[in-house]
Amino acid sequence: PVAEASPFLENFLIDAGECWDKGGTERVKSGPWVEQDGNGAEIQLEATAMTAGHQSLLLLERLGDAFEAKKSVLQRARETVIAHQRLNSEIQKKEILLHCVADEMTAALANIITSLRLMEQEDNGPRTKLLLGLANRATQEQQTLIHRILGVFEEELRGVYGGNGETQSGGDWETGFRGALESVAPIYAEKGVGLDVPGAGARPIKIHLDPVQLERILVNLLENALERSPDRGAVVVRTEEEKESLLVSFEDAGPMLSSEVCDSLFAKFDPSNKTPAAALRLHFCRIVIENSGGEIGCAPLPAGGNRFWIRLTQSSATP
């Protein structure tokens, strides 16, 4: 019998039987599989179950050069996807670093400008006033330059990611969230951590945030929750729609953070942090979310673990 000759076919015959029972033009394919011939050489086969008249047919096709060519194309496509993902990851890291550095430099320059202006108001000699004026203009030019660099970098990113002006109307929550889940799925699977998203996708929601940055923030917080979770643990993502915002919570089962740590976790970036990569990601999230009118924070859970949350402002644009 065919089933005894091939274990693969034995399983396929279950689907084939359903196809034969339906009759008509119904047909089902097994997909390619590999068998060994009498000499031990591998041969690629594909089976098709169909009905002709009142007869049940099982066709076996030996796949040749076309199958090998298709397999080669798929392999190259996988390699291209992996290379693209790596490049995308590097771009994301550089964008996060650039925003954090720019934020720190802008804050420092703002303090210097304020101090210089206060000094200009004091009773200084003509030469001192001239020097203070030059210093003030120089710091303002540096501040403008930083914003220009950020603007150019963001324009280039929009070109890379295919931006088309979505920023003005806001990012679609469902699209950004789905993209973030797809991005982190491999690393969650590698660590064996489950991802529970109860009640997702209730209705279309527009977020007052650039679509690329929205997905980046979600990926960062999902990665943060994964790093804090034990192997074979679980991360729960909850969403709660408010009047003018969307509250999103990321709950992990890792070691509880103290209230003091939570209070300082999103404060000014500290390069001496024991986990600088995680601190940089959280700092980036705080900058972007607060600049768009949102909020971010964290708190220990009573039953253990931690809850990181973000409150995103909904866009006034009509979905």
The domain covering 167-313 belongs, at the CATH homologous superfamily level, to Histidine kinase-like ATPase, C-terminal domain (3.30.565.10)
Tell me the HSE value of 209 on the side-chain side, using a 13 A CA sphere: 33
Classify domain 80-162 by CATH architecture.
Answer: Up-down Bundle (1.20)
d(CA 98, CA 283): 12
pLDDT digits (tens, 9 = 90+) for 91-112: 766 776 777 677 767 777 777 8
**Tokens linked to 288:** 């972007």
**Tokens linked to 127:** 């030469």
Give 299's DSSP letter.
E
Domain boundaries, the chain: 2-63, 80-162, 167-313
Burial (CB < 10 A; 0-12, 13-18, 19+), residue 164, is: exposed
- 199 or 56, which is more confident: 56
Given this model, what pLDDT does residue 317 score? 41
Closest CA to 294 of 244, 249, 257: 244
**Alpha helices, DSSP H, located in 121-210:** 126-160, 166-169, 173-191
| Phi/psi of residue 46, nearest 5 degrees | -145, 135
Residue 51 φ/ψ region, left for φ over 0, alpha for ψ in the -120 to 50 degree band, beta for the rest: beta
d(CA 298, CA 293): 18
Percentage of the residues of the chain whose pLDDT score is greater than 90: 16
Looking at the predicted structure, is the pLDDT value of residue 32 above 70?
yes
Give 274's DSSP letter.
S
Given this model, what pLDDT does residue 261 score? 84
The answer to whether 80-162 and 167-313 have equal CATH topology is no
State the average pLDDT over residues 60-74. Answer: 81
How many degrees, rounded to 5, is the angle at CA 110 between CA 103 and CA 273? Answer: 40
With bands split at pLDDT 50, 70 and 90, how would you rate the model's confidence at 202? low
Place of tokens 């320059």: 109
State the average pLDDT over residues 155-165. Answer: 50
